[in-house]
Amino acid sequence: MRGYAALIYVFLYAPILLIVVFSFNSGFSASDFKGVSFKWYAKAATNTFVIDAVVNSLIVAASSATLATVFGTMAALALQRVKGWVRTVFDGLIYVAIMVPGIVIGISTLIALVSVFGLLNTALVALIPALAGPEPPLALGFASLIAAHTLFNLALVIVIVRARIAGMDRSLIEASADLYATPWRTFRQVTLPQILPAVLAGFLLGFTFSLDDFVIAFFVAGSKTTLPIFVFSSIRRGVTPEINAIGTVVLAVSLILLFGSQLLLRRGHGRPRRA
């Protein structure tokens, strides 16, 4: 069994290792190693198209992760007070949102946004004729990207924060209420410090998934280009060491964020419970 497990890991990670190795290739071919060089990293760092795509991805990832963290934490706290079949329904909807393939989310979000934008643009132009022009008032772009990624990350944040709330020491909250603390003060001084590692972990995971997402962004980005969309467009013309360099940097950033979120979750779960 160990041999089979080793083969599986080699099959999974060997292609990733090849991308990292060939990102240091001094030649112009992605598959012919000529020597060690960092010139492709420098070229990617000075490529204006890459920089614009990175900026777009960072804006979308930071915005969607922040919104998903805020609303996901609020929803997780509210769902702890819901009981019975209502909670079962919400639990099912949350897990379905995580399990649904990204292409289904992308297509459904695109259809919904195009339909809504069509109705709203017609109404806006009728109310404000000055808005009529070659470009509609509402169109796919940053707003649609952020909205789609927020909805996807929302379920993830809810699951992570609820898992932390379930293991939280409730006696501290009861003691705060016995000492006549207001609900807001109890949340700020008792609840939030206990769930903060899970909240930060949810933010980091949401940021990572949004930064790496291609499928959903491909459908709802409109004229905006994120880094995954740029990479996909570039490899259609052929894979170069520059693409390998970009992939290596994205891989490193993603791993740092994922390991950071895991450390935060372990820190939250590893705290001793108070009597």
Count Cβ neighbours within 10 Å for each residue of 19-30 and write b for 16 or more, e otherwise: beebbbbeeeeb
The domain made up of 57-269 is a member of CATH 1.10.1040.20: no
Global confidence as pTM: 0.81
Q: What is the pLDDT of residues 71-85, one digit of tens each?
A: 999 988 888 777 888
* pLDDT value of position 198: 87
Q: What is the mean pLDDT of residues 43-47?
A: 87
Q: What is the pLDDT of residues 140-172, one digit of tens each?
A: 888 889 988 998 899 889 998 888 887 777 777
* pLDDT value of position 274: 46
Q: What percent of the chain has pLDDT over 90?
A: 11
- Are 247 and 19 in contact by the 8 Å Cβ rule? The answer is yes
CA-to-CA distance for 194 and 222, rounded, in angstroms? 40
- Are 184 and 149 in contact by the 8 Å Cβ rule? The answer is no
Q: Does the pLDDT value for residue 259 go beyond 80?
A: yes
Residue 172 corresponds to which tokens in the numbers above? 């501290």
Q: What is the pLDDT of residues 13-32, one digit of tens each?
A: 888 888 888 888 877 776 67
* pLDDT value of position 184: 81
CA-to-CA distance for 254 and 244, rounded, in angstroms? 15
Q: Does the pLDDT value for residue 133 go beyond 80?
A: no
Nearest to 235 by CA among 79, 31, 55: 31
CA-to-CA distance for 61 and 181, rounded, in angstroms? 36
Nearest to 220 by CA among 212, 229, 209: 229
**pLDDT band at residue 58, thresholds of 50, 70 and 90?**
very high
- Phi-psi group of 222: left, alpha or beta (phi > 0 → left; psi -120 to 50 → alpha; rest → beta): left
Q: What is the mean pLDDT of residues 264-272?
A: 60
Number of Cβ within 10 Å of residue 157's Cβ equals 28
CA-to-CA distance for 194 and 269, rounded, in angstroms? 9
Residue 89 corresponds to which tokens in the numbers above? 């329904």
- Are 228 and 212 in contact by the 8 Å Cβ rule? The answer is yes
Q: What is the pLDDT of residues 181-240, one digit of tens each?
A: 777 887 777 888 888 888 888 898 899 889 888 888 999 888 888 988 988 888 877 777
Mean pLDDT of the chain: 83
CA-to-CA distance for 226 and 142, rounded, in angstroms? 10
Number of Cβ within 10 Å of residue 4's Cβ equals 8
Domain boundaries, the chain: 57-269
CA-to-CA distance for 80 and 86, rounded, in angstroms? 11
Residue 176 has φ and ψ, to the nearest 5°, of -65, -40
Distance of CA 148 to the CA centre of its chain: 10
- Are 110 and 79 in contact by the 8 Å Cβ rule? The answer is no
